[in-house]
Amino acid sequence: MWCLSGPEDKRYRKDGEVSMSGVSVDVREERPISEFSYTNLILAAKEKALNGEKLDRESIIALLEIDSDSINADMLGIAAREVAEVVTGNMASVWASIGVDYKNCAMNCDFCSFGKKWGLIEQESERSTEEIIGLIDRFVSQGARWVTLRTTQFYGFDRLIRLIKEIRLAVPGNYEIVVNTGEFDDEKARRLANAGAQVVYHTLRLREGKDTRFRPEDRIDTLRSVRESPLNLAYLVEPVGMEHSNEEIADIFLKGMEYGAILSGAMARVPLPGTPFSGSGQLSERRHAQIVAVTRLAAGHHAPDICVHPPSRVAMEWGANVVVVETGAVPRDTGNCECEWNGFDMATARDYFKNAGYAFYSGDENECEK
């Protein structure tokens, strides 16, 4: 494995401008960044990440502009993996996710199989509390660090609170309960925390308001309520498709950092038949891994856990340390999954971690497997 070292105190911009000590000098015009400049850009980003500094928007965009099939992308990935080793203590974890309700959702997000308009759900169903507790018990005993209750936008909030309390009573352990649900305010955020949840998964999605029927302000209000509460925020850049620009990706990522995300990363869109994205292309594994690597460098110590979804070996070698094992109602599938989605189970996750040189971490210091 290569090792990147020797960062220089320079910042290279996409237009060829070099910034040193706050003074900008225009050395090239309308020319692509040279190999040498990319090396320095990557090394400077790595240095900043390790020093606890956030990466600025321009640098994030410049890193995203690297050709994902180039040797520079490999260099970027290696730098991101080196940062991951430091900020995670070289530990990787599983985010287990349970789709609670397999139901038509009137919000009709263009990328989601639950959209009522797409007519993909033939028979609505819902997991019982007993089933959910059984699944969580199994995931926790297998070492899941987080267990996520994923519900559609209109799952009853009081029911969710009751479910969290029942899970806490029934399943002991150091795992964290994550909630992925609809919009809520400050008071509801406090109720979630009091019931026993630690984390909320919530994002401003790419092209929110265009590919979704949400007002971006409403999504941001919920992010604000999470920030003002004892709850932690998990926030991926999602759902990434081939049409999204580097600027859009950077802005969505930075929004998560603005609201204090402690877990970031990137989720690639799965173009589902029957949805408006049917037949559209899907990100290549290397491009997905590149975006993940950039989030690793840009988040540094601020969001020490970086997730890739769907799982990718390349992304794990390029700095991701979290993968998702999910079951039940999955918005990236046209059916209700009885087993783990795409066969990606806890054993496979552990194999990915081992392959990428991580130790497995369940959240319990005494159970970290080297």
Applying CB under 6 A, the residues found at the interface with ligand SF4 are: 105, 107-109, 112, 114-115, 152-153, 331
Minimum CB separation of residue 107 from ligand SF4 in Å reads 4
Asked if 325 contacts 97 with a C-beta cutoff of 8 angstroms, the reply is yes
Asked if 352 contacts 318 with a C-beta cutoff of 8 angstroms, the reply is no
In the complex with ligand SF4, the residue whose CB is nearer, 109 or 356, is 109
In the complex with ligand SF4, the residue whose CB is nearer, 239 or 300, is 239
Minimum CB separation of residue 151 from ligand SF4 in Å reads 8
Minimum CB separation of residue 350 from ligand SF4 in Å reads 29
Minimum CB separation of residue 106 from ligand SF4 in Å reads 7
In the complex with ligand SF4, the residue whose CB is nearer, 64 or 272, is 272
Nearest alpha-carbon partner for 311 in 337, 358, 343, 279:
343
Rg from Cα positions in the chain: 20
Rounded to 5 degrees, what are φ and ψ at 56? -75, 160
Minimum CB separation of residue 362 from ligand SF4 in Å reads 29
Minimum CB separation of residue 49 from ligand SF4 in Å reads 31
In the complex with ligand SF4, the residue whose CB is nearer, 203 or 229, is 203
Asked if 263 contacts 307 with a C-beta cutoff of 8 angstroms, the reply is yes
In the complex with ligand SF4, the residue whose CB is nearer, 107 or 368, is 107
Asked if 329 contacts 120 with a C-beta cutoff of 8 angstroms, the reply is no
In the complex with ligand SF4, the residue whose CB is nearer, 40 or 225, is 225
The encoded tokens of residue 100 equal: 């609670």
Minimum CB separation of residue 108 from ligand SF4 in Å reads 6
Minimum CB separation of residue 360 from ligand SF4 in Å reads 30
In the complex with ligand SF4, the residue whose CB is nearer, 255 or 350, is 255
Contacts by 156-165, CB closer than 8 A, 24 or more apart: 157/181, 157/182, 157/184, 157/188, 157/191, 160/192, 161/191, 161/192, 161/195, 163/100, 163/129, 163/132, 164/192, 164/195, 164/196, 164/197, 165/195, 165/196
The encoded tokens of residue 279 equal: 């037949």
Q: How far apart are CA 136 and CA 96, in angstroms?
A: 8
Rounded to 5 degrees, what are φ and ψ at 81? -65, -35
Q: How far apart are CA 290 and CA 283, in angstroms?
A: 11
In the complex with ligand SF4, the residue whose CB is nearer, 246 or 334, is 334
In the complex with ligand SF4, the residue whose CB is nearer, 107 or 170, is 107
Minimum CB separation of residue 111 from ligand SF4 in Å reads 7
DSSP assignment string, 221-276: HHHHHHHTSS-EEE--EEEE-TT--HHHHHHHHHHHHHTTEEEEEEEE----TTST
